[in-house]
C-alpha cells in the first residue's frame, strides 16, 4: 500500500522546499501493484477534500488559460504543452505545501516555482520540439497513405490507412506523455535537470505500466460520469486528476 501523501508531518516544517529535498528519491522507482491506481485517486480525493477551494480555483484558472491558448492559431497548441509543464510543477509545489504545512499558499508557490522557471521552460521547449517531430512524422505517414489511397487501392485501404495513422499517433504520443508525467515535479521539487527528469519519468511510468493502464481506464469512466451532469462534475474531477499526478509521484519515487 502506498504512503498517504497527506498524512500529518512527523516533524516540524517551516519550509516545504527543505522538506522535499530532505527526502531522497529512490535510485529505482517502486513497482506498484495494479490496484494502486485506485489508491492514487483515493489519496488525491482526500487531498482535494482537505482544501477544495484553492484546488478548484487553480483548476478553473488552468482551464481558462488552456482555452485562451486553444484559440490562438498554430502556436496555441504548442504553448499548451509548455503550460502543461508549468501546471504540473505548480500542482506539485502546492501539494507539497499541503502535505508538509497543511495549508496552501499560492503566492509562495508561484515564487518558489520561479526559482526553477528556467529549467521548466526548457522542459516545455523539449516537449514542444518532441510534439513537432511527432507531428511531422505523422504528417509524412499520412501523406504517403493518402497518396496510396488516391491510386485507387479502395475504400477498405483508406479505412485501414486511417487506423494506422491513429495507431502511429498513439505509439508516439504515449511515450511522450510518459516522459512528461513526472518531469515537472522532479524539476520543481528536486532540481533535476530537464533531460534527466524526462528519462526518470519515462522509466517510472514504464516500470508501472500496468497500474497506469488501470488508471487510464478509471479516468475514462470517471470522465464520462463527470460530464453527464452538464459537465459540472469536472469541478471535482479536474482538481483530483491534477492531484493524482502528485500522489502517484509520492508512491513511486519514495520508500514506503
- Is the model more confident about 172 or about 89? 89
Tell me, what's the pLDDT at 157? 62
Q: Is the pLDDT of residue 79 over 70?
A: yes
Confidence of residue 164 (pLDDT cuts 50, 70, 90): confident
pLDDT, mean of residues 116-140: 91
Task: Report the distance separating Cα 131 and Cα 176, nearest Å.
Answer: 8
Q: Is the pLDDT of residue 111 over 60?
A: yes
Residue extents of the structural domains in the chain:
23-93+115-253
Global pTM reads 0.84
Confidence of residue 208 (pLDDT cuts 50, 70, 90): very high
pLDDT tens for each residue of 214-233: 999 999 999 999 999 888 99
Give kind and range of the element (H or E) at residue 39.
Answer: helix 36-50
Q: What percent of the chain has pLDDT over 90?
A: 62
User: Quick one: how far is CA 114 from the chain centroid?
Assistant: 19
pLDDT tens for each residue of 65-74: 999 998 888 7
Tell me, what's the pLDDT at 38? 97
CB-based burial, 110-137: b 16+ in 10 Å, e otherwise: eebbeebeebbeebbebbbebbeebeee
Confidence of residue 36 (pLDDT cuts 50, 70, 90): very high
What's the mean pLDDT when you consider all of the chain? 86
How many helices (DSSP H) and strands (DSSP E) are in the chain?
A: 10, 0
105-119, 133-147, 199-213: range with highest mean pLDDT:
199-213
137 grid coordinates: 512524422
Confidence of residue 26 (pLDDT cuts 50, 70, 90): confident
Task: Report the distance separating Cα 110 and Cα 87, nearest Å.
Answer: 11
Tell me, what's the pLDDT at 177? 93
Residue that is written with C-alpha cell 516545504 in the block: 16
> Residues 74, 68, 249, 113: is their CA dihedral positive or negative?
positive
Confidence of residue 33 (pLDDT cuts 50, 70, 90): very high
Tell me, what's the pLDDT at 243? 97
Single out the residue of 11, 16, 12, 187 nearest to residue 104, CA to CA: 16
Q: Is the pLDDT of residue 247 over 70?
A: yes
Q: Is the pLDDT of residue 154 over 80?
A: no
Residue that is written with C-alpha cell 485507387 in the block: 152
Amino acid at each position: 500500500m502506498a504512503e498517504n501523501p497527506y498524512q500529518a508531518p512527523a516533524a516540524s516544517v517551516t519550509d516545504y522546499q527543505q522538506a522535499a529535498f530532505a527526502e531522497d528519491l529512490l535510485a529505482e522507482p517502486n513497482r506498484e501493484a495494479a490496484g494502486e491506481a485506485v489508491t492514487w485517486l483515493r489519496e488525491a480525493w482526500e487531498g482535494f477534500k482537505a482544501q477544495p477551494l484553492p484546488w478548484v480555483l487553480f483548476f478553473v484558472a488552468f482551464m481558462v488559460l488552456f482555452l485562451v491558448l486553444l484559440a490562438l492559431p498554430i502556436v496555441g497548441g504548442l504553448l499548451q504543452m509548455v503550460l502543461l509543464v508549468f501546471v504540473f510543477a505548480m500542482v506539485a509545489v502546492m501539494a507539497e505545501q499541503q502535505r508538509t504545512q497543511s495549508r496552501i499558499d499560492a503566492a509562495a508557490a508561484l515564487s518558489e516555482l520561479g526559482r526553477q522557471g528556467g529549467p521548466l521552460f526548457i522542459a516545455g521547449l523539449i516537449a514542444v520540439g518532441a510534439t513537432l517531430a511527432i507531428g511531422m512524422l505523422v504528417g509524412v505517414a499520412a501523406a504517403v497513405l493518402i497518396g496510396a489511397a488516391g491510386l485507387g487501392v479502395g475504400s477498405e485501404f483508406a479505412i485501414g490507412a486511417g487506423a494506422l495513422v491513429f495507431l502511429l499517433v498513439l505509439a508516439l504520443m504515449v511515450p511522450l506523455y510518459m516522459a512528461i508525467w513526472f518531469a515537472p515535479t522532479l524539476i520543481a521539487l528536486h532540481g533535476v535537470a530537464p533531460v534527466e527528469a524526462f528519462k526518470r519519468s519515462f522509466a517510472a511510468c514504464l516500470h508501472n505500466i500496468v497500474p497506469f493502464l488501470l488508471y487510464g481506464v478509471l479516468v475514462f469512466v470517471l470522465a464520462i460520469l463527470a460530464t453527464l451532469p452538464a459537465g459540472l462534475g469536472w469541478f471535482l474531477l479536474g482538481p483530483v486528476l491534477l492531484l493524482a499526478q502528485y500522489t502517484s509521484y509520492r508512491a513511486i519515487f519514495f520508500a514506503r
